[in-house]
Amino acid sequence: MPIKTARHDDDALEESHEINVTPFIDVMLVLLIIFMVAAPLATVDTPVDLPASTAQPQPRDGEPVFLSVQADLSLSINDVPVGRDGLKAALERLTAGDHEQRIYLRADQAVPYGDLMQAMNALRTAGYRRIALVGLEQRRE
């Protein structure tokens, strides 16, 4: 970067009016790396307790059909134990073959999420796609 100190001296350095952007680029790259490392750390998973809800209960149409998943992963329909292989036949009998009827799915808090999804997949395989999750009602204070 030449800088001219005197106007009459030919051996002196000349002034340069260009901005040197190299330090700015270096700073930006360092900041980019810091944010790339820090961003995944900012999205920490938090534990979620899903069974309680403050939503207003919705009116039910007729006699509801409840599929329950107990803590030991056994299934029951309206408090009657049923095996996974007999699930479709039991649902067909209770709903009279109406696949548009809503099935209320309730599960123990100790049931892992993957096992709850297997129960939902079993309902979908049986032809029931209208599934409602049931939770405890929580009082608003």
What pLDDT does 32 receive? Answer: 93
Mean pLDDT of all residues in 14-25:
80
Summarised one tens digit per residue, pLDDT across range 81-131 is 888 888 888 888 888 888 888 888 888 888 888 888 998 898 898 888 888
pLDDT the model gives residue 73 = 86
Return the structure tokens found at 47. Answer: 């534990």
CB-CB neighbours of 70 under 10 Å:
14
Q: What is residue 12's predicted lDDT score, i.e. its pLDDT?
A: 65
Query: Band of the pLDDT at 139, cuts 50, 70, 90?
Result: low
Q: What is the pLDDT of residue 27?
A: 92
Tens of pLDDT along 28-81?
999 999 988 888 776 654 454 456 666 676 666 677 888 888 888 888 888 888
Q: Which residues of 114-124 are buried (b: 16+ CB within 10 A; e: fewer)?
A: eebeebbebbe
Contact assessment for residue 5 and residue 14, using Cβ atoms and an 8 Å cutoff? no
What is the spatial order of strands in the sheet that 80-82 belongs to? 80-82, 75-77, 65-69, 103-107, 131-133
